Amino acid sequence: MAEREIPWWRSGVVLQVYPRSFADSDGDGIGDLPGVTGRLDHLEDLGVDAVWLSPFYRSPMADFGYDVSDHTDVDPIFGELADADALIEAAHARGLRVIFDWVPNHTSDRHAWFLASRSSRDDPQRDWYVWRDPGPGGAPPNNWTSAFSLHGEASSWTLDEHTGQSYLHSFLPEQPDLNWDEPAVVGAMHATLRFWLDRGVDGFRIDVAHAIGKDPELGDNEPGRRHDQDWPTVHTRLRAIRGVLDGYEGDRMAVGEVYLLDQGALAPYVSVGDELHLAHNFVFLNLPWSATGFRATVDEFERLAGPDAWPAWCLGNHDHPRIASRYGPGPARVAAMLLLTLRGTPFLFQGDELGLTDVEIPPDRVVDVDGRDPERSPIPWEPPSRAGPGAGFTTGEPWLPITPDAERVAASVQAGDPESMLTLHRKLLSLRRATPALTEGSYRGLEAGEDIYAYERGGEVIVALNFAPEPRAVGASGEGTLLLSTRPVAREGMEVDLATLVLEADEGVIVAVSRVRCP
């Protein structure tokens, strides 16, 4: 029997591109699809296998594209449909897969479906959204609250004077929730998947995937039990979505944003093998910087997820403060090694490969409702001394301020520096690609010294990471050749004994094992 080929989404690495902030091709200060196509060299040189694009569909931009008003067209800010086709084609020509962001839980309040639904209680599309009579005195129908809490908790219900009923919105009032209990909604949303699958997209990141199953009785959330998400029906719905993808050739993939901070609740989404292919792990993303914490989380997921499950590790995205700001610049290099050597599919957020930090946004430039502008600051491609204040991102005025550090951290500057964060990422990705033990190999956590997280991959490679800001002994058993270090002063090529090796502050190493001593 021929050996089963490993699907790309298990062996590959995915870079998330936030199109508004990646590259602007027309000088309006906002990144766009031709901008992404024009910068595919960066992805290829970095060595990633796939790109996930945050939404670029038609949208009033109340939530910067996560409020979709037409799933099957490109917003003029980002280009036109032909630009999406051209991007897919150009990426494929380079062997890069393309994943689009699919937002099934809600639409924009300007979507034709919602306009019809809100027009009257008798409209045939009334039940496409969740409408209820308000409680006494116009009170919300239940205690569910909306996810954006920067400015305090708010009900997820808005009363619509026109028909005297309230509609549900798990996010902004401009993002009414679709009613997945209504079969016509399921059919219409599946059709939007097919629209892009037919155009050649390799898969989807599913926005708030756990939220498309809710208690149909709309029961109040209780301590320890939420009724507005992760309801058992979610699994049936994800299986049907998987069915749509499986109807296409070529390993189409679905990765869910399953924002559940409990790995026991997360595991069922990927364990059986007929729902999501992958689910982002937000327990991992939210960890404080500690060797024991990361080890315990990885070990717990390995234990909870079934043999068919495959982990998807990420430490950043467009909703969270940047890695280098949360953990610091030294740990950010260790975090890169961790992400790219664990068993599972790594997801990188654009700019983390440059070690970008959050950018301070002056109050008069704040645009996001939930405080997420700092991590969405545009990519500095060129030093401003060469490319002007737009740093190669734009020739116009950028929609968010660009890092004041652009001169030093610009991609083109880092590309020529053997000690830069970008060079470290390129080396990690190329080593990963050349080392099957780092992709398909088994994972085994090792006994190690204080502040060290050490693990073995496929019996061939040991990774040892120092989480402390000072030197620490690895204290694990094994000998071999040091392939890569996160420290600028590399000790690459040295023979090392992990029992006596001392790592520098914030140093991680990858060692090709010549001998593992039995404990």
The residues assigned a catalytic role are: 207, 257
As a whole number of angstroms, the distance between CA 110 and CA 368 comes to 19
Binding mask 241-260 for ligand GLC (x = CB under 6 A): ----------------x---
Strand partners, 205: 101, 255
CA-to-CA dists, residue 424 to 15, 354, 412, angstroms? 16, 9, 14
The distance of closest approach from Cβ of residue 207 to ligand GLC in the complex, given in angstroms and rounded to an integer, is 5
Secondary-structure breakdown of the chain: helix, strand, coil percentages, each rounded to the nearest 5: 30, 20, 50
Instruction: Report the site for ligand GLC in 367-426 (rule: CB under 6 A).
Output: none
CA-to-CA dists, residue 170 to 59, 156, 302, angstroms? 18, 5, 31
Task: Please tell me whether residue 269 binds ligand GLC under the rule CB under 6 A.
Answer: no
As a whole number of angstroms, the distance between CA 506 and CA 62 comes to 40
As a whole number of angstroms, the distance between CA 4 and CA 286 comes to 35
Q: Which residue is nearest to ligand GLC (CB)?
A: 66
Among residues 26, 127, 182, 319, the one that binds ligand GLC under rule CB under 6 A: 319
Instruction: Report the site for ligand GLC in 156-175 (rule: CB under 6 A).
Output: 171
User: 510 near 341, Cβ under 8 Å?
Assistant: yes
Of 114 and 453, the one with the shorter C-beta distance to ligand GLC is 114
Q: At residue 169, what is the residue type? A: H
User: 486 near 334, Cβ under 8 Å?
Assistant: yes
The distance of closest approach from Cβ of residue 340 to ligand GLC in the complex, given in angstroms and rounded to an integer, is 22
The distance of closest approach from Cβ of residue 427 to ligand GLC in the complex, given in angstroms and rounded to an integer, is 30
Enclosing H/E stretch for 44: helix 40-46
Separation of first and last alpha carbons in the chain: 37
User: 396 near 28, Cβ under 8 Å?
Assistant: yes
The distance of closest approach from Cβ of residue 388 to ligand GLC in the complex, given in angstroms and rounded to an integer, is 30
Of 208 and 452, the one with the shorter C-beta distance to ligand GLC is 208
The distance of closest approach from Cβ of residue 259 to ligand GLC in the complex, given in angstroms and rounded to an integer, is 7
As a whole number of angstroms, the distance between CA 464 and CA 330 comes to 15
Task: Please tell me whether residue 78 binds ligand GLC under the rule CB under 6 A.
Answer: no
Task: Please tell me whether residue 103 binds ligand GLC under the rule CB under 6 A.
Answer: yes
User: 374 near 359, Cβ under 8 Å?
Assistant: yes
Among residues 18, 22, 66, 114, the one that binds ligand GLC under rule CB under 6 A: 66
Of 126 and 205, the one with the shorter C-beta distance to ligand GLC is 205
The distance of closest approach from Cβ of residue 98 to ligand GLC in the complex, given in angstroms and rounded to an integer, is 18
Instruction: Report the site for ligand GLC in 207-236 (rule: CB under 6 A).
Output: 207-208
Instruction: Report the site for ligand GLC in 417-446 (rule: CB under 6 A).
Output: none
Task: Please tell me whether residue 49 binds ligand GLC under the rule CB under 6 A.
Answer: no
Residues that bind ligand GLC (CB under 6 A): 63, 66, 103, 171, 207-208, 257, 318-319
